[in-house]
């Protein structure tokens, strides 16, 4: 496994070069010259020239591409065009608010979804199964913005149970600010997660080894927990772990509506102000995180199923 991990880490080097090239093409070639956009339509030619020189946009394209590659390996993304702050410091400051919201909500929603999927699989075809499936489909049919506005108005404004917006980083003060957006995250996640986990579990229930376990006299709950769930862990691990890198970006809508100064808000502000360095930094970090968690997924396969060998 050690050899496999080292080899996969070495494979990251050409992948990062490729990802950096795609990001460079998107933001430095396809997007065009950002200087007129930043200065406005009344900018003079000299002002545009000075800004291009200040931002390094007058350098050869290859030199600009190597700057993107260098930032991917050194995490030195320079300064924001909009705020003039150091980008890595902006990310560091925004990481705590985002992670205090996304990680607990993600963990709770995943555990609840697996438990509900086991319940509906156990009562497959019966009333509780049909009811939960109907609620999942109905819940997915409603816009996430509608959930946010309703929960914010009813539970925060009318009932006053939660803070309606803002954020305080101290523990446990921040809990009152992330509780309601966390609940919304869980509600939004349950529908697709339960349906996926239910499908995976039902695929295993109809396998021959399950019929053999029942023939030996094992109870349905024992079969479900000891045999079916364990053999269903490969697709479940893939589904869960691959979502983790996207937690880095935070929750764009939730952070925006609840005024949480996290990475989602930073990304959204960068998009609105055409702050390309910040957008490129978030894209690079997300790509690296995705590669690392893909490796973690493969390693977890061997723990979930000893028959899986890494070569």
CA atoms within 13 A on the CB side of 192: 10
Whole-prediction pTM value?
0.80
pLDDT one-digit tens code per residue, 135-193: 888 888 888 888 888 998 898 888 888 888 888 888 788 888 889 999 998 998 888 89
What is the number of other CB atoms lying within 10 angstroms of the CB of residue 141? 8
The region, left, alpha or beta by phi > 0 then psi within -120 to 50, assigned to residue 250 is left
Tell me how far apart the alpha carbons of residues 156 and 277 are, in angstroms, rounded to a whole number: 36
Task: Report which DSSP code applies to 76.
Answer: -
**In this structure, what is the dihedral angle of CA atoms 216, 222, 226, 230, given to the nearest 10 degrees?**
110
- On whether the CB atoms of residues 241 and 234 are closer than 8 A, the answer is no
pLDDT one-digit tens code per residue, 235-273: 888 888 888 877 766 577 888 888 888 888 888 888 777
Task: Report which DSSP code applies to 258.
Answer: T
Structure tokens, 16: 């990062």
In angstroms, what is the C-alpha Rg of the chain? 24
Q: Does domain 90-304 have CATH number 1.10.540.10?
A: no
Which residue ranges make up each domain of the chain?
Answer: 2-74, 90-304
β-sheet bridge partners, residue 86: 79
Where does the pLDDT of residue 298 fall: very low under 50, low under 70, confident under 90, or very high at 90 and above?
confident
């Amino acid at each position: 496994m050690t050899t496999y991990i080292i080899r996969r880490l070495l494979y990251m080097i050409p992948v990062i070069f490729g990802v950096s090239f795609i990001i460079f093409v998107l933001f430095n070639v396809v997007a065009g010259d950002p200087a007129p956009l930043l200065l406005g339509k009344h900018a003079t030619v000299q002002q545009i020239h000075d800004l291009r020189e200040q931002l390094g946009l007058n350098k050869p394209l290859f030199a600009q591409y190597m700057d993107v590659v260098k930032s991917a390996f050194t995490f030195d993304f320079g300064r924001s065009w909009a705020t003039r702050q150091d980008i890595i410091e902006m990310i560091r400051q925004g990481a705590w608010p985002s992670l205090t919201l996304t990680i607990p909500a993600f963990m709770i929603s995943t555990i609840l979804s697996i438990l509900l999927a086991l319940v509906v699989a156990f009562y497959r075809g019966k009333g509780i199964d049909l009811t939960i499936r109907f609620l999942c489909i109905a819940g997915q049919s409603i816009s996430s913005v509608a959930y946010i506005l309703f929960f914010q108005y009813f539970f925060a404004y009318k009932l006053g149970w939660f803070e309606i917006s803002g954020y305080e980083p101290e523990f446990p003060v921040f809990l009152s600010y992330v509780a309601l957006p966390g609940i919304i995250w869980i509600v939004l996640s349950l529908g697709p997660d339960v349906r996926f986990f239910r499908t995976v579990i039902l695929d295993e229930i109809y396998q021959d080894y399950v019929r053999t376990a029942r023939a030996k006299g094992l109870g349905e709950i024992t079969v479900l927990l000891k045999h079916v769930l364990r053999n269903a862990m490969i697709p479940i691990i893939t589904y869960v772990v691959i979502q983790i890198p996207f937690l880095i970006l935070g929750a764009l809508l939730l952070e925006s509506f609840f005024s949480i100064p996290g990475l989602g808000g930073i990304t959204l502000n960068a998009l609105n102000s055409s702050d390309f360095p910040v957008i490129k930094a978030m894209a690079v970090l997300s790509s690296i995180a995705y590669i690392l968690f893909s490796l973690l997924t493969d390693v977890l396969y061997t723990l979930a199923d000893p028959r899986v060998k890494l070569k």
